[in-house]
Structure 1
Amino acid sequence: MTTQSPASPLPPPNERRRLRRFRPLTPAQLATAPEASGKVTPQKNTASPRTPEPQPLTPAQTFDALYAFCSPALVRQTYLLTGRRELAREAVERAFQLAWQRWPEVARDRDPAGWVRAVAYDCALSPWHRFRPRYRNPEPPPADPADRELLHALLRLPPTYRRTLVLYDGVGLDLPETAAETEASTPAAASRLTHAREALVAQLPELADPARLHQRLLELASTERLGAGKPTVVRTGGERRNVFWTRAAIAFTVTIIGATALTLQTAPTRYEAPVAPAQAVQGVPPPAAMGPLSQEEQALRAKLRRAETSGPERLSPETR
């Protein structure tokens, strides 16, 4: 009795259709295939060439770009606030030095130019400049009489009014931005602006139109030849300033530590009562001088002189 192997099961319909679609090649087709002859047709690279990605700017390059963009206008604006060319240049350079010192914070700020402008205005309007000898004498005024009158009218305004007027009518900020930069509420900024315009129009009636006032402020700031130093000089100057103050702080700290150590070594370890100062005693009679001796005293003295130097061992009283 012979056993038959069971028939292999048929593949499913989908698999049968796939096998019929990909039938094996005939020997003639295999002979003419590219792989059989060893020749492979190179495929063309259809991918588009990559464009080189731009390199990110370094912090120094970003700072230089911000300085080149903002410093000319800031020097002219601070000149309107102070009326001094050298002080305006110094305030702007000091503001950028502080910006470079805090560059990570400034670079992430929503308005880096506004950050630097606020610091420059604070430096320019600092009341400590009046005590500096170089700023005690006024600078030569503008050559044009109209510009001279406008500058004098601006300098007569209080610093807060002057700053609000320059920001709103000179720079062109709106009222909320002006209030935010001057650290005041919007109604307070509006009140300052109104009073500043009234005081300015009282001296120069032709500036009652805000558009005319804006134009005159731009003309006054543009007529002066104002410029700031190079960004590299500002950056290196700020770094040298930081190094100087750091070394000064270290030297001061070392001096304090040395003085403290010297005091601990030389100071007494226990309490010593202070010596009271001498005082004159009142009511004590002065010592009297010795007068002449009486006869009895003279006789006693003569007796003592006649007596032997080495007398008896024991003195016995004399009977009277």
Structure 2
Amino acid sequence: MTRGPATPLPPPKERRRLRETAALTQAQLGTRVGVAPGTVRAWESGRTTPRGRKREAYAKLLATLAGEDPAGRATRTPEEEPDSGPVREAEPETTPETHAQPQPQPGPEAKPRPERAPEPQPRPDPQPLALTPAQAFDALYEFGAPALVRQTFLLTGRREQARESVERAFQAAWEHWPEVARDRDPVGWVRATAYEYALSPWQRFRPRHRHPEPPPADPGDRTLLNTLLRLPPRHRRTLVLYDGVGLDLPETAAETEASTPAAANRLLHAREAVADRLPALADPQVLHRRLAELASNERLRTTLPPTVRTVGERRNRFWTRAAIAFTVALIGTTTLTLRTAPTHYEPPVSPGKAVRGVPPRVVQGALSDEELELRRKLRDQMQDGPERLSPSLE
């Protein structure tokens, strides 16, 4: 007994492109196929290959996303496509409408008609799916921004801060768009940036924190939100990612920059703290449903994608010009200092002091007769003292 050929699959890059084109996350695609998100990530990276029924289900789903017939792809081979003309001619023999009609004789008339030759179409042309960077960013924003605002609200309890954090994260994503576009999980990249901005310690020094926001209208939602806000930021973030977003433990640990055991301990402590105050939420499934309801009951708005891109570009231009102006000012100051600074050491001049008790300087005048006589005697007479030794020739 021979084993049949495996169901053909597109290359790993094509698998990922089809999933992203359909706006599906790895978790959503894994749910349809019946595997974990990590398995989908391994299939799209080429590390592993699906087998058996998982392979058939995965191939069928990819073919559906590509807009093709999965049965036709699995049964038709490239060698059979050129002979599709004679096969189509044999089909009218089995239809009742053609029993009375004469069958065409083999010859030049029996060749496939030229208008039916290009009927078997290859894979859809990816040209209509090609998006500009702005269009791809807008699609990512419209797909992930509403959910991210609701999730960030669970972390902060402030509606405006949640919206601003998500917008800042998407602006950072637009600034690093080539990196984000090639990332395996662009929504995860934006989510991590939004959470870091929302939980930043300097947020408490902003003027808006002086005025408390109105709590949720439902008493149960208000109690749950207060319980979440009492948790430490790291425990709160781990709880929202695992029980709110639905990430697995390794992905939660990676996004919170912690080890898997540390993330598990934070999750257990957070669940215990919530269960102590709200015993009805001890079940993780009930907690997940309540977190989704709390985030969905709030009216949270999002800005249009072009506005987010425009504001981000304007802010980047402002800081770029400010950096250029500061650099030019620094260069000018340094040049002026080098041109005006002394090239050698000059000792400082001591401050002048007034001297008292010294007679004023008198201008010397003509000598008197006595002074002239004294000068003549000094020049003519020898002064007493040892004679000077002078060298002499012998």
Cα distance in 1 for partners of 2:350, 2:277 equals 73
What is the RMSD of the two structures over their aligned residues, measured on CA atoms?
2.8
TM-score, with length taken from structure 1 = 0.73
2:246 is matched with which residue?
Answer: 172
SS of corresponding position for 1:268: coil
Q: In structure 2, do the counterparts of structure 1 residues 269 and 224 end up closer, same or farther at CA, with 3 Å as the change threshold?
A: same
Q: Is 1:210 aligned to residue 284 of structure 2?
A: yes
Give the drift of 1:272.
2.3
Q: Is 1:126 aligned to residue 200 of structure 2?
A: yes
Cα distance in 1 for partners of 2:335, 2:152 equals 49
1:47 is matched with which residue?
Answer: 117
Gaps of 5+ in 2: 1-108, 358-364, 375-394
- Of 248, 255, 261 in structure 1, the residue corresponding to residue 329 of structure 2 is 255
Cα distance in 1 for partners of 2:308, 2:181 equals 17
Structure 2 counterpart of 1:313, which letter? D
Equivalent residue runs for 1:72-111 within 5 Å: 72-111=146-185
Structure 1 counterpart of 2:256, which letter? T
Equivalent residue runs for 1:138-177 within 5 Å: 138-177=212-251
Give the drift of 1:239.
1.0
Structure number with greater CO (CA < 8 Å, separation at least 6) is 1
Q: In structure 2, do the counterparts of structure 1 residues 278 and 156 end up closer, same or farther at CA, with 3 Å as the change threshold?
A: farther
| Count of residue pairs brought into register by the alignment | 254
Cα distance in 1 for partners of 2:169, 2:367 equals 107
Give the drift of 1:147.
1.1
Q: In structure 2, do the counterparts of structure 1 residues 278 and 118 end up closer, same or farther at CA, with 3 Å as the change threshold?
A: farther
Equivalent residue runs for 1:194-273 within 5 Å: 194-273=268-347
Cα distance in 1 for partners of 2:139, 2:133 equals 10
Give the drift of 1:217.
0.8
Please identify the structure whose Cα radius of gyration is greater. 1
Give the drift of 1:277.
7.4
Structure 1 counterpart of 2:118, which letter? S
Identity of aligned residues (%): 69
1:149-182 CA deviation, whole Å, 9 max, x = no partner? 1111111111000000000111111111111111
Cα distance in 2 for partners of 1:311, 1:123 equals 99
Cα distance in 1 for partners of 2:177, 2:313 equals 12
Give the drift of 1:137.
2.4
2:263 is matched with which residue?
Answer: 189
Give the drift of 1:310.
8.5
Cα distance in 1 for partners of 2:272, 2:352 equals 75
Give the drift of 1:198.
1.1
SS of corresponding position for 1:120: helix
Cα distance in 1 for partners of 2:210, 2:241 equals 26
SS of corresponding position for 2:302: coil
Cα distance in 2 for partners of 1:139, 1:276 equals 68
1:136 is matched with which residue?
Answer: 210
Q: Greater shift after overlay, 41-50 or 65-74?
A: 41-50
- Of 346, 361, 369 in structure 2, the residue corresponding to residue 313 of structure 1 is 369
Cα distance in 2 for partners of 1:143, 1:278 equals 83
1:212-266 CA deviation, whole Å, 9 max, x = no partner? 1111111111111002101111111111111111111100100100100111111
Gaps of 5+ in 1: 1-40, 280-285, 288-308
